[in-house]
């Protein structure tokens, strides 16, 4: 046996993280809630490519869309809590979750309708143009699409903040905030 092999430790996969060490719903929920809070505290910038000067060289790296990261984090934080939310006895908390579902459906429907209208508008416009005005119309179309997407994301961010607030009230109701004494002031 080589000296390198003597330094390697092997663990029995069946003994690793036995059932008693598996994370609880409470632990998972609190970690996901914390992640959503952290993502929500960051600047809500769109995706892009950033350039940095590192050791005298310009290095490009892809920047994620922080609005989408936040929206997804909040929705993931809600998934393990959904059964608890549905069984919650406090009407205020139930109403907050219902409002989220209603608002989300409304903004998705509006976005879909606006995209359809925009596609129709430019489909007719583009079919009746020469090449120079066609290129300008394509540019206008792309700009309007980008504006619709950004508006849609900001609306989702707004309702996601409401969902995150509802989650915090639910976590408090479930007594998941042990050390802090809760968020509702009770």
Q: Check the CA dihedral 71-72-77-79 and report its sign.
A: positive
The count of structural domains within the chain is 1
pLDDT tens figures, 79-113: 999 999 988 889 999 999 999 999 999 999 999 99
Q: Does the pLDDT at position 8 exceed 90?
A: no
Give the domain range for residue 115.
22-173
pLDDT tens figures, 16-32: 555 567 889 999 999 99
Quote the CA–CA distance of 103 and 156 in Å, as a whole number.
9
Nearest to 72 by CA among 176, 179, 157, 186: 157
The token duo for 72 is 């997804």
Helix (H, G, I), strand (E, B) or coil at 182: coil
Flag whether 68 is in a domain: yes
Flag whether 3 is in a domain: no
Q: Does the pLDDT at position 1 exceed 70?
A: no
Flag whether 87 is in a domain: yes
User: Which range, of 12-21, 132-141, 172-181, averages the lowest pLDDT?
Assistant: 12-21
Flag whether 180 is in a domain: no
Q: Does the pLDDT at position 156 exceed 60?
A: yes
Residue 184 DSSP one-character state: S
Flag whether 186 is in a domain: no
Residue 23 DSSP one-character state: P
Tell me what percent of the residues of the chain surpass a pLDDT of 90: 58
Flag whether 56 is in a domain: yes
First-to-last C-alpha distance (Å) of the chain: 64
Quote the CA–CA distance of 164 and 93 in Å, as a whole number.
11
Nearest to 92 by CA among 166, 7, 153, 11: 166
Flag whether 31 is in a domain: yes
Please tell me which residue, 186 or 23, carries the higher pLDDT value: 23
Tell me what percent of the residues of the chain surpass a pLDDT of 70: 81
How crowded is the C-beta side of 162, counted as CA atoms within 13 Å? 19
**Whose structure tokens read 């409002």?**
99
Nearest to 69 by CA among 96, 42, 102, 99: 42
Whole-model pTM: value is 0.75
């Amino acid at each position: 046996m080589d000296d390198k092999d003597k330094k390697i430790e092997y663990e029995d996969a069946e003994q690793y993280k036995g059932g008693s060490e598996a994370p609880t719903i409470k632990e998972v929920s609190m970690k996901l809630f914390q992640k959503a809070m952290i993502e929500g505290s960051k600047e809500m910038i769109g995706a892009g490519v950033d350039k940095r000067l590192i050791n005298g060289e310009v290095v490009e790296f892809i920047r994620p869309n922080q609005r989408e990261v936040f929206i997804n984090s909040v929705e993931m934080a809600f998934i393990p809590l959904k059964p608890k939310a549905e069984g919650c006895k406090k009407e205020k908390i139930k109403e907050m979750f219902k409002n989220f579902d209603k608002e989300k459906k409304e903004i998705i429907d509006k976005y879909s309708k606006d995209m359809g209208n925009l596609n129709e508008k430019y489909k007719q416009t583009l079919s009746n143009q020469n090449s120079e005005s066609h290129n300008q119309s394509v540019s206008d179309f792309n700009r309007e699409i980008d504006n619709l997407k950004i508006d849609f994301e900001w609306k989702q961010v707004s309702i996601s903040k409401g969902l995150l607030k509802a989650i915090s009230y639910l976590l408090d109701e479930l007594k998941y905030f042990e050390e802090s004494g809760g968020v509702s002031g009770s």
